[in-house]
Amino acid sequence: MKIILFIAAVLMTECNSVRLSALTKPTTTSTPAQMTQPTALVQEMTPPTFVCPESSNTASPVARLRAAMKNSSYTQMNAFFDAFLVFYSDEHLSEEPAAEERRLEYISGWEGSGTAVVADDGAALWVPSADLRRARATVSCLWLVLDQDDPRQPTIAEWIAERRGRSGKVGADARLTSISDWQALATSLQRENLQLVPQSTMLDQLWNEEMDPARRRPEFTRVVAMSHNQEYTGMSWREKVNLVRNELQAVGADAMIVTALDEVAWLLNIRGKDLPYAPLLKAFVLLSLKDVRVYVPPGKLLMPERDALSAYNCFANSNNCTRVNEYGTVYSDLRRAIETKILIPTGGTFQRGASAAIAQSIPQTKRLFQTSPIIYFKAQKNSAEIHGMKKAHLRDAVAMCTVLNYIEKIYLYRIQSIDDRRDA
């Protein structure tokens, strides 16, 4: 024991002497000549300026959009755009738009939700916080990805104002955002002396002219709509129309524009395959006290479905028929509608409401903003719908049990394999 203590004392003495010599060692002052580095070495240490390879690609969607912002054949106006906004949704503000409606993915490469802004000297993408890391890993180096839920990040208006040009105009497709979001954007841009201008053709024209096969716009689905059997709905489309008409009269409206696709499906008892994960038909419905006007792409409603909707029996003063019109004419028809008050659905917990373009198409004196009454009618399930829900839950339970059984078998198999290897 004494020998161990003696060795420890010697080691401590040696360590202290080393520390003391290090502290008392005189420091040498470097002369300016010693501190000056060669010019070549300084240049080698300076990091090179990063240049995004995409910035030189004039055929990219961003470059083509920037060129179109300064081209009157695309802007359809004398003034040019300093920036252009690209939204995620479609004309019905669907939660999951179809492939041919994903304009945000075309322009940025980001397949999730968000808002993109393209200016002459930059491009920025605002995404939810949960998608921030994935978005930054997905888009190219052209894009600045910002957290739309972080108040410390610059807003769209602030970001555009930092790189504003001379015209002070910002373009956007008013069909792809709600009236409340459009008004909020317009107000924030106005504070920066910028004007939000609706432009619904420029980006679609660019996408339709895309030459790169990988970026070319997918074709619209040609799957036709089908009538939903009353065995499952419990009510005919006429009964549902009468329910909505009674509600319109109670609030002082003589018409309503139906834009949400699930409400169109419920009202007309019709189903389609125009959205990725929902059996819905892409259509607008203008329901008045006298008739029902459906705006649908060509070829979607065949003779049996038109016959079920009484589209062949329309005559003057008839309120039990459906007039089928071209999908894109809904905006012009709303501008010259003869009705005095048209209910425009507002956003809420379950719906985003009508788009800004729909609201802007209706004369201001005829606008009546209110929650869609169809939401509440849909929530009140009749006996046929309750029976269908129970059957659906049974099928869902069988599917869930099948999956869990499969996972359990895989787990047990792996446990057994581990035990066998240990025994071996």
Instruction: Tell me the per-residue pLDDT of 277-300, one tens digit each, with 9 for 90 and over.
Output: 999 999 999 999 989 999 999 999
What is the pLDDT, as a whole number, of residue 419?
A: 78
What is the pLDDT, as a whole number, of residue 79?
A: 76
The pLDDT confidence band at residue 418, using thresholds 50, 70 and 90, is: confident
What is the pLDDT, as a whole number, of residue 55?
A: 80
Name which of 199-203, 268-272, 352-356, 418-422 the model is least confident about. Answer: 418-422
Residue 404 has pLDDT above 90, yes or no: yes
- Token pair listed for 134: 């994935």
**Residue 179 vs residues 93, 117, 183, 188, 248: alpha-carbon distances, Å:** 11, 19, 6, 14, 21
- Token pair listed for 270: 């019709």
Residue that wins the pLDDT comparison between 22 and 113: 113
Between CA 40 and CA 132 the distance in angstroms is 41
User: Strand, helix or coil at 107?
Assistant: helix
What is the pLDDT, as a whole number, of residue 397?
A: 96
89 in Cβ contact with 96 (< 8 Å): no
- How many degrees, rounded to 5, is the angle at CA 128 between CA 126 and CA 130? 135
Residue 310 has pLDDT above 70, yes or no: yes
What is the pLDDT, as a whole number, of residue 22?
A: 41
What is the pLDDT, as a whole number, of residue 209?
A: 94
Name which of 242-246, 272-276, 309-313 the model is least confident about. Answer: 309-313
What is the pLDDT, as a whole number, of residue 312?
A: 81
86 in Cβ contact with 119 (< 8 Å): no
What is the pLDDT, as a whole number, of residue 185?
A: 96
Q: Stretch 204-213: mean pLDDT, rounded?
A: 94
Which residue type, as a one-letter code, is found at position 313? N
Residue 2 has pLDDT above 80, yes or no: no
What is the pLDDT, as a whole number, of residue 11?
A: 45
In the chain, the N- to C-terminal Cα span, in Å, equals 49
Name which of 13-27, 50-64, 409-423 the model is least confident about. Answer: 13-27
| Model confidence pLDDT, tens digit, residues 67-97 | 999 999 898 887 789 999 999 999 999 999 9
What is the pLDDT, as a whole number, of residue 348?
A: 85
Q: Stretch 8-12: mean pLDDT, rounded?
A: 47
The candidate with the shortest Cα–Cα distance to 328, out of 298, 353, 360, is 298
**How many whole angstroms from its chain centre is CA 189?**
21
Residue that wins the pLDDT comparison between 25 and 148: 148
Percentage of the residues of the chain whose pLDDT score is greater than 70: 86
Q: Stretch 394-400: mean pLDDT, rounded?
A: 95
Residue that wins the pLDDT comparison between 166 and 2: 166
The candidate with the shortest Cα–Cα distance to 284, out of 188, 355, 208, 202, is 355
Residue 44 has pLDDT above 90, yes or no: no
In 61-121, DSSP assigns E strands to 83-87, 115-119
What is the pLDDT, as a whole number, of residue 166?
A: 65
Residue 330 has pLDDT above 90, yes or no: yes
What is the pLDDT, as a whole number, of residue 417?
A: 85
Q: Stretch 50-76: mean pLDDT, rounded?
A: 88
Residue 333 has pLDDT above 90, yes or no: yes
User: Strand, helix or coil at 258?
Assistant: strand
Domains plus CATH for the chain? 55-208 (3.40.350.10), 226-379 (3.40.350.10)
**Residue 308 vs residues 70, 207, 237: alpha-carbon distances, Å:** 49, 37, 9
Q: Stretch 36-62: mean pLDDT, rounded?
A: 66
Which residue type, as a one-letter code, is found at position 32? P
Name which of 104-108, 167-171, 271-275, 358-362 the model is least confident about. Answer: 167-171
Neighbours of 134 (CB within 10 A): 14
What is the pLDDT, as a whole number, of residue 165?
A: 65
